[in-house]
A = this chain, B = another copy of it.
Amino acid sequence: MAKLTLVGLGPGSIDLVTPAARDAIESADVVAGYKAYVDLITSLIDKQEVIQSGMTREWERAAAAIDAAAEGKSVVLVCSGDSGMYAMAPLVLELLQQRNPELPAVELAIIPGITAANACASLVGAPLGHDSCTISLSDLLTPWEVITKRIEAAAMADFAITFYNPRSKKRKSHIETAQQILLQHRAPKTPVAVVNAAYRDDQGVMLSTLDSFTSLEFGMNAAVLVGNSNSYYFGDWIVTPRGYKNKYQLETGAVLSGQKRGHSLNTATAEQQGEAVKARQEQGEKAGELV
């Protein structure tokens, strides 16, 4: 059966392309992808046929890749990051179903990659150390009302957030609206990182805070990472704690009085646990306004 493999390249540098992705690309008959992504892997392309297309031409890329696979060729469709996150996997599945409603007519495989949230976070510490979400600010395919409701929910429930597609020439105000929504729930000095083109030649990392990051220069290739209510700066690193201070003495690793290793956090002994748990509880109460 014809074979189509969706390959996540990761953020862009060749040393973050997994061996599984590399093998799939090197052994393919055809490599399809958005031109900027194919350019990232020219070192892996030799005799393979290349199908490239421009931005907003996802349909053409996906259809051409499926056509080539249906002709019996071994095809890889490359995406930056992970193919399943704001990328080509859903569209490929939709087109395969359109052509053959019961079962895919080509054998499909998916090789995961490092998505932008994790790549960008690694450059600034641990901003996504606890529960987090990703929200795309592009309204090309999603109503803006749906996007703003998701921002509100994430703000209220205190998720750390990675904004994908934070800004484009036609879409300058979206990130400012997101900022205003978040400022209703988080402190002005909440750490924010803006990472441009992570792990590419033109990489840029900017550290800022919730009240002022929108004055920075960034565009579509950037991701904007916003900490939660417990996040803080330590030097140039952003830390979003997992909550060890709720249960352990950081000096010695000893379990705090009233707590038990391997058991649920005892929230009744909050007084003994210092500020950390109190902060968490206030945050819980704030999230409680949701219901």
Residues of B within 8 A of A112 (CB): 10-11, 16, 114, 118-119, 121-122
- Can you name the residue of chain B whose Cβ is closest to the Cβ of A115? B118
Bound-state CA distance A265–B60 (Å) is 19
Bound-state CA distance A205–B63 (Å) is 28
- Can you name the residue of chain B whose Cβ is closest to the Cβ of A286? B149
Question: Is B287 a contact of A241 with CB atoms below 8 Å?
Answer: no
Question: Is B15 a contact of A141 with CB atoms below 8 Å?
Answer: no
Interface of chain A, helix or strand or loop or mixed? mixed
Q: How many chain copies does the complex carry?
A: 2
Bound-state CA distance A262–B138 (Å) is 10
Cβ < 8 Å to B, chain A residues 1-55: 8, 10-11, 13-20, 23
Residues of B within 8 A of A139 (CB): 264-265
Residues of B within 8 A of A14 (CB): 19
Given contact pairs A16-B20, A170-B263, A129 touches B89 in the complex (Cβ within 8 A)? yes
Q: How far is the CB of A260 from chain B (nearest CB, A)?
A: 10
Interface: A187 (CB within 8 A)? no
Interface: A74 (CB within 8 A)? no
Cβ < 8 Å to B, chain A residues 126-155: 126-136, 139-147, 149-150, 152-154
Q: How far is the CB of A40 from chain B (nearest CB, A)?
A: 14
Most buried by B among A18, A146, A247, A281: A146
Question: Is A244 a contact of B287 with CB atoms below 8 Å?
Answer: no
Q: Mark A238-251, 1 if CB is under 8 A from B, else 0.
A: 01111111111011
Given contacts A15-B23, A85-B129, A132-B133, 7 further A-B contacts (CB under 8 A): A59-B248, A84-B121, A86-B242, A93-B234, A108-B237, A110-B123, A113-B114
Could you tell me which A residues sit within 8 Å of B by CB distance? Answer: 8, 10-11, 13-20, 23, 56, 58-60, 63, 82-86, 89-91, 93-98, 102-104, 108, 110-115, 118-119, 121-123, 125-136, 139-147, 149-150, 152-154, 156-159, 170-171, 234-235, 237, 239-248, 250-251, 253, 261-265, 267, 277, 280-281, 283-284, 287-288, 290-291
Ordered nearest first, which 6 A-B pairs have the shortest CB separation? A149-B287, A153-B157, A141-B243, A133-B133, A90-B129, A59-B253
Listed by A's residue number, 11 A-B pairs whose Cβ atoms lie within 8 Å are: A8-B122, A10-B112, A85-B118, A93-B237, A94-B241, A94-B244, A94-B250, A104-B237, A112-B119, A130-B136, A141-B243
